[in-house]
Amino acid sequence: MSFELLILGCSSATPAHQRNPAAQVLTFCDKTYLIDCGEATQMQMQRYKVKAHRIDHIFISHLHGDHYLGLMGLLSSMHLQGRERELVIYCQKELKEILELQFQVSGTVLRFPLRYRFFTAPTEVLLEDEQVCIKSFDLNHRVPCKGFLFKEQPRPRNLLIEKVREAGVPFDFYPELKAGKDFINSQGEVTPNAALTIDPLPSKSYAYCSDTLYTESLIPIIQGVDLLYHEATFLHDMLDRAIETYHTTCLQAGQIASNAKVKKLVIGHFSARYKDLNPLLQEAKSAFEHVYLAEEGIVYNF
C-alpha cells in the first residue's frame, strides 16, 4: 500500500521564484486525492505526470485565490477530456456559486457528475470507507479555513497461523480473528484473541494544515501523525506580520510538530519575499528535527 505526498505548489498568495500556489497530490491507501488547487495546478499535474482521471476527491481548504483558482481550469479540462465518473469537491458552500456562475457564462454543461460536500461543522468526518477516514477541522485564518486529517482504518490483526490451526479455528472465522474477536469452539472453550494474533503495523496518518495562525488547539487533532504538512509563511522575525495576516512562522510550525510528536513535518506556503528557503528550513529545524521544505515535484513517502 502506498502513502506519498507530491507537492505541486509551495508559494503563498503571490507566486514567485517559479514557485506555484498551493496544491498537492496525496496518495493514501493507493487512492489519489487532490488537496487545494491553486492557479496552474493542471499544468503542474501535467509536468509531474499526475493523471487527472485518477482523482475522484478534491479538498479545498478555503476560498483565497491561491488555494482554488486552478479548479475551473482543471474541471474544464476533465470535461473536455471526456470524464464521466463522479467527482466530489469538499469545500465552503460559496465555491459552488463561483464555479456554477462560470459554467453558466461559458455555456458549459459538464459531462460528468460534480458533487459538492460542504463543510458543516467545526470538526467532521468528510469521507469514510473500509480503508480510510478523512476528517476536516477548523484552522484559524482570515476567512473560514479547514485542515484535513487522513487516517487509515485500523489494519487487520496478523494471524499466528500455527496457533490458529492448533486451536481448530475454522477458515470462516479468520476475518473475525483479524478484527480482534476471541475464538469459542463448539465445546464452549474460549481462546483469547491475543493467543492467536499479534498487533498489525500501525495505521498511517497524514494531516494538512494550510493557512492558519499558530494554533495550539490543533495539537491533539494532529497528534502523532506520520506526516504533517504545515504552512510556514514567514521567518519568526516577521511574527507581527504573521499574526496580522493569520499565518504561522517556521519556528512555530516546528514547535507544533514537536508538541504534536508527529513523525515528519513538511513546511510550505512560503512568502514571495524569500528566494532562498534554507533559512526557513533551519529555523523550523531548531524546534523539530525531521522537517523538510515543500519542493515542487518532490515526493515525500511516509
Grid coordinates given for 30: 493507493
Question: Is the Cβ of residue 13 or residue 262 nearer to a copy of itself in the bound state?
Answer: 13
> Smallest gap, in angstroms, from Cβ of residue 64 to a copy of itself?
5
> Which residues of 29-142 form beta strands (DSSP E)?
31-37, 55-59, 87-91, 114-118, 123-128, 132-138
Whole-number Å distance between alpha carbons of 59 and 62: 9
Question: Is the Cβ of residue 66 or residue 226 nearer to a copy of itself in the bound state?
Answer: 66
Q: Is 102 in the site for a copy of itself (CB under 8 A)?
A: yes
> Smallest gap, in angstroms, from Cβ of residue 77 to a copy of itself?
5
Write out the binding residues for a copy of itself, residues 132-161 only, by CB under 8 A: 142-143
Write out the binding residues for a copy of itself, residues 18-37 only, by CB under 8 A: 18, 20-21
Question: Is the Cβ of residue 64 or residue 135 nearer to a copy of itself in the bound state?
Answer: 64
Q: Is 101 in the site for a copy of itself (CB under 8 A)?
A: yes
- How far are the Cα atoms of 26, 110, 126, 283 from residue 19, in angstroms, in the given order? 19, 31, 30, 20
Whole-number Å distance between alpha carbons of 139 and 124: 13
Half-sphere exposure for 8 (CA within 13 Å, toward CB): 27
Q: Is 91 in the site for a copy of itself (CB under 8 A)?
A: no
Burial call 225-241: b when 16+ CB within 10 Å, e when fewer: bbbbbbbbbbbbebbee
Residue among 33, 37, 39, 256 that touches a copy of itself (CB under 8 A): 39
Q: Is 106 in the site for a copy of itself (CB under 8 A)?
A: yes
Q: Is 16 in the site for a copy of itself (CB under 8 A)?
A: yes
Part of the chain binding a copy of itself (CB under 8 A), chosen from 43-51, 126-134, 168-176, 208-216:
43-51
66 among known catalytic residues: yes
| Type of residue numbered 199 | D
Q: Is 72 in the site for a copy of itself (CB under 8 A)?
A: yes
Q: Is 238 in the site for a copy of itself (CB under 8 A)?
A: no
> Smallest gap, in angstroms, from Cβ of residue 16 to a copy of itself?
7
State the burial class of residue 250 (Cβ atoms within 10 Å of its Cβ: 0-12, 13-18, 19+): buried
Q: For the chain, report the end-to-end CA distance as a whole number of angstroms.
A: 11
Q: Is 97 in the site for a copy of itself (CB under 8 A)?
A: yes
Q: Which of 30, 36, 56, 66 is catalytic?
A: 66
Part of the chain binding a copy of itself (CB under 8 A), chosen from 77-85, 170-178, 203-211, 218-226:
77-85
- Chain centroid to Cα 75, Å, comes to 20
Contact by Cβ (8 Å): 229, 266 = yes
Question: Is the Cβ of residue 94 or residue 182 nearer to a copy of itself in the bound state?
Answer: 94
Q: Is 109 in the site for a copy of itself (CB under 8 A)?
A: no
State the burial class of residue 192 (Cβ atoms within 10 Å of its Cβ: 0-12, 13-18, 19+): exposed
Whole-number Å distance between alpha carbons of 120 and 91: 10
Q: Is 40 in the site for a copy of itself (CB under 8 A)?
A: yes
Residues that bind a copy of itself (CB under 8 A): 13-16, 18, 20-21, 39-40, 42-43, 46-47, 63-66, 69-70, 72-73, 76-77, 80-81, 92, 94, 97-98, 101-102, 105-107, 142-143
Q: Report, as residue numbers or ranges, the catalytic residues.
A: 66
